[in-house]
Amino acid sequence: MSDGRGEIKVKMQEQLMGGVYANGLQISHTREEFIMDFLMIAPPNGTLTARVITSPGHMKRILAAMSENIKKYESKFGTIRQADEPSGHGRIGFAAEGGN
C-alpha cells in the first residue's frame, strides 16, 4: 500500500489471518458512516461474523474497487450468477431481548 509518500507496511492481527465466512450482509448508515454487518446464516439461526464501519467517502471507494474486481473476475472466469434472495425462512435480522 502506498500513500504517495512511500510504502505503508500493514500488520495483520493473528486472529484475523483465517478470515471469516459470510453468506449475508446487512448495510445501514448514518450521515457520518456506513455500517456493514457480515452474517453467517444457517437457518434457523444466524451469527454476526464481522462488522465494518467506514466513512461515506471510503464506502464510495470500496464500491468502486468491488465493481472493478468483479469486472476483472468475470473477464477471467465468466459471468457470475447472482444468488437468489433467501425465501421461506422468515425475516433475517436482530431483535433486542425482551423487545418486539
3-state SS of 23-40? CEEEEEECCCCEEEEEEE
Tell whether 30 is covered by a domain: yes
Tell whether 25 is covered by a domain: yes
Q: Residue 37 is part of which domain span?
A: 21-77
Tell whether 63 is covered by a domain: yes
DSSP states along 30-90: -SS-EEEEEEEEETTEEEEEEEEEE-HHHHHHHHHHHHHHHHHHHHHH-PPPPPPPP-SS-
Q: What's residue 66's pLDDT?
A: 97
Summarize pLDDT for 4-22 with one digit per residue, the tens: 678 999 999 998 899 999 9
Tell whether 3 is covered by a domain: no
Tell whether 51 is covered by a domain: yes
Confidence (pTM): 0.74
Query: What is the average pLDDT score of the chain?
Result: 86
Total of domains in the chain = 1
Per-residue pLDDT, averaged over 64-71, amounts to 98
pLDDT band at 76 (very low <50, low <70, confident <90, very high): very high
Tell whether 68 is covered by a domain: yes
Beta bridge partners of 29: 34
